[in-house]
Each structure stands twice: as C-alpha cells, then as structure tokens.
Amino acid sequence: MDLAFYAAAAGASAQQKRLNVVANNLANLSTAGFKKESAVFSNLIYNELNPPAQEGTQLSASSGARVDKTNTDFSQGDLLPSNMPYDYVLVSDGFFALKDPATGQITYTRDGSFRLSQQANGRFLLAAENGKHVLDNVGEVIAVDPNTTEALPVGVYRFRTREGMLHVGDNEYLPTEKNGQAVAAENSSGLVLQGYTENSNVNMADEIEKMIEAQRAYQYALKMVQTADEVETTINNLRG
C-alpha cells in the first residue's frame, strides 16, 4: 500500500488527538487553577531513520506525524476574589499538596478552592472538593476551627522543574523523576492569598483558532486517504 495512505491516516489520528486536547482545554475554561495543554507532534520518518542505539525502531516503515506528548502551560491565570475563607490562591509558582486519606498518595494542584471535611472524631480538616486533605509546609494535615476565618498554614511546594509532570485528573499532578522531590517553601504565608481563586489560563479565542486548524488538517488528511485509496484502486484495475 502507498505510504501516502499511511501518512494521511497517521495525520488524521494525530489531529483527532489534538482536537481532544483543545476540547479538554475549553471544557475547563472556568475550572479554578486549570492549566492549558498543547499537543506536541513528532515526525515518524525521523523516528524510523534515527532509532536509539542498539534498539529497534517503533515502526518497520513510517511516514507522517503523530502526537508525541502534551505540554502543560503553567503560566499564571487571573486572580479572582471569592471572599470565601477557605479559598486560597498561589501568587507565584508552586503547588498545593493533597493527600488521599484512603491511599496516602500525595498529588499536587494549583486549585485552592478548599472546604472543611469533618472527621469521625469530630474535628475538621482542610480538604479539596474531592475529599483529599490539604497539607501544610511540613507535610501534615491542617486542622481547622470552624468558628474562625483566620488564614491557615497552607503549604506551598515547588519542584526543580515543572516540565513533564503527569496530569492525573481532578486538576492534579504527579511528579516524575525528572521533576525531583517536592520542596516546601519556608514562608508560604507570603506566597498565597486568602479569599481568592485562580482562573484557568485558557484563552477561548486561541483554543477556537487551534480547533479550526485541527479540523481543517483532519479534513485534508481524510481527503488524502481517499485520494490515495482511489489511486491504488486505479493502479490495481490497470494491472487487472
């Protein structure tokens, strides 16, 4: 089969994945602390010709492109006053740390829309909307007196680099080996604002432009698939 067919099919698949990324960005336009993502493409022909030493290639024959990964843009979103005592926003780089009470796993988020979670012993802990407990700067849960609205010692955690962090859903991230260990900021009180939320950094106009580009590229790729199939059919008919 003509490689043009496979190149077009790979292109259509890649553009579909790009559309999925754009759609997810638009769906989270109003999600506090959400960070937009972008699809990163790689050329399959280069992957074929330049495999790592002593390793097999990913495809026996290849052309076209594919979505290699998605990058996350951690730039600051707009800060919006909420006047809610358990809302916190980061005014610099960094993350809030959340601990799953069921598994003990710690994830990180920019979404500071917190609430109170009452425990079986009657005390209240600061928690995210999904019930995970917010940690202070020494990795402990934060007990809250519901009769006061004073600022709480919410921890702020940073990494050597934010590139490559895994997006695990619920607006949360997991660090990889590349990111290094989380380091708590010594003076977190100067890095957060109480009674504010951070809007997503998604720009609707930019995402709609990307969606139109991806849709048109997808249509062209499908047209190329159709054309390649017609050419192959014509050649087979001539041979017959």
- 63-90 in b/e form (b: 16+ CB < 10 A) is bbbbbeeeebebeebeeeebeebbbbbb
For residue 140, give every residue at least 6 positions away whose Cβ sits within 8 Å of its Cβ, in sequence order, or none. Answer: none
Q: What's the pLDDT at 57?
A: 53
Cβ atoms within 10 Å of 208's Cβ, excluding its own = 12
Q: What's the pLDDT at 227?
A: 85
- Give the predicted TM-score (pTM) of the model: 0.80
Encode the chain (240 residues) as per-residue pLDDT tens digits: 567 777 788 888 888 999 999 999 999 998 999 999 998 887 766 555 555 555 555 544 556 777 778 889 999 999 999 989 999 999 988 999 999 999 999 999 999 999 999 998 999 999 999 999 999 999 999 999 999 889 999 999 999 999 889 989 889 999 999 999 999 998 777 789 999 999 999 999 999 999 999 999 889 888 888 887 788 788 778 876
Amino acid code (one letter) for 94: G
- Domain regions of the chain by residue span: 3-74+201-239, 79-198
Q: For residue 210, which of 32, 10, 73, 5 has the smallest C-alpha distance?
A: 73
